[in-house]
Structure 1
Amino acid sequence: MIVMEIRELEAFLAVMSTGSITAAARLLDRSQSQVTRLIQDLEISVGFALLDRNGPKIAPSEKGIAFHAEAERFLSGIGHLRERARTIAEKEPQPIEIVAIPAFASGIIPLALAALPEKLLPRKIHLRSLPAEAAVQSVLARTADFCVTSLPADQPGLEVHGVFQGPCVAAVAEDDPLAACEVISIADLAGRNIITMANPFRLRRRVDIALEAANIRPARIIATSVSVNAVQIASTGLGVAIVEPATAYGLKLANVAVRALDVDIPFPWAIFSAAARPLSDSSRELIQEIIQIASACIPGFTAHDPRSANRAAEMTLGGDQADAR
Structure 2
Amino acid sequence: MHSNSFDIRQLEAFAAVMSTGSVTGAARLLGRSQPAVTRLIQDLEADIGYALLHRSGPRISPTARGLLFHAEVERHLASLAHIRERANAIGLDEPPSLTIAATPSLAAGVLPQAIAAVAPDLIPRHLHVQALAAENVVQAVLARSADFGISSLPLEHPGLEVHWIAEAPCVVALAASDPLANDDMVRLSDLAERRIITLANPYRLRHRIDEALERAGVAPQRMIDVNASLTALTMVRAGLGVAIVEPATVCGVPLEGIVMRVLDHTIPFLFGAISPAAMPLTPTVAAVIDAARAVALAMPGCRLHDAGGVEALADTVYGGSPMTEDVPS
TM class by smaller structure = over 0.9
Displacement of 1:50: 2.5
Identity of aligned residues (%): 49
1:48 and 1:206 map into 2 onto residues whose CA distance is 46
**SS where residue 128 of structure 1 aligns?**
strand
Confirm or deny: 8 A CA contact 2:198 2:244 kept in the other structure: yes
Unaligned runs of 5+ in 1: none
1:312 corresponds to which residue? 313
Displacement of 1:134: 1.1
1:299 corresponds to which residue? 300
Corresponding letter in the other structure for 1:172 = L
2:43 corresponds to which residue? 41
Displacement of 1:57: 0.6
**SS where residue 92 of structure 1 aligns?**
coil
Q: How does 1:209-248 map to 2 (within 5 A)?
A: 209-248=211-250
Q: Which range is displaced more, 10-19 or 302-311?
A: 302-311
Confirm or deny: 8 A CA contact 1:193 1:221 kept in the other structure: yes
1:252-285: CA deviation from partner (whole Å, max 9, x where unpaired)? 1110011111111111111111123222211110
Displacement of 1:316: 3.4
Displacement of 1:227: 0.5
Confirm or deny: 8 A CA contact 1:168 1:242 kept in the other structure: yes
2:48 and 2:183 map into 1 onto residues whose CA distance is 59
2:255 corresponds to which residue? 253
2:167 and 2:63 map into 1 onto residues whose CA distance is 41
Larger Rg computed on CA atoms: 2
2:327 corresponds to which residue? none
Confirm or deny: 8 A CA contact 1:108 1:251 kept in the other structure: no
1:220-246: CA deviation from partner (whole Å, max 9, x where unpaired)? 110111100001111122101111111
2:217 and 2:235 map into 1 onto residues whose CA distance is 24
Confirm or deny: 8 A CA contact 1:197 1:223 kept in the other structure: yes
Corresponding letter in the other structure for 1:90 = L
Corresponding letter in the other structure for 2:300 = P
**1:55 aligned residue (51, 54, 57):** 57
Corresponding letter in the other structure for 2:233 = V
Mapped pair 1:117 → 2:119 = yes
Displacement of 1:36: 2.0
**1:30 aligned residue (24, 29, 32):** 32
- 1:155–1:23 CA distance, 2 compared to 1 (3 A): same
- 1:7–1:292 CA distance, 2 compared to 1 (3 A): same
Q: How does 1:93-108 map to 2 (within 5 A)?
A: 93-108=95-110
Q: How does 1:1-325 map to 2 (within 5 A)?
A: 2-296=4-298, 298-309=299-310, 311-319=312-320
Displacement of 1:37: 2.5
1:158-183: CA deviation from partner (whole Å, max 9, x where unpaired)? 12111111111110110011111111
- 1:208–1:14 CA distance, 2 compared to 1 (3 A): same
2:156 and 2:96 map into 1 onto residues whose CA distance is 29
Q: Which range is displaced more, 20-29 or 42-51?
A: 42-51
- 1:313–1:179 CA distance, 2 compared to 1 (3 A): farther
Confirm or deny: 8 A CA contact 2:109 2:248 kept in the other structure: yes
- 1:11–1:308 CA distance, 2 compared to 1 (3 A): farther
Confirm or deny: 8 A CA contact 2:174 2:181 kept in the other structure: yes
Displacement of 1:47: 4.1
2:54 and 2:165 map into 1 onto residues whose CA distance is 45
Displacement of 1:188: 0.8
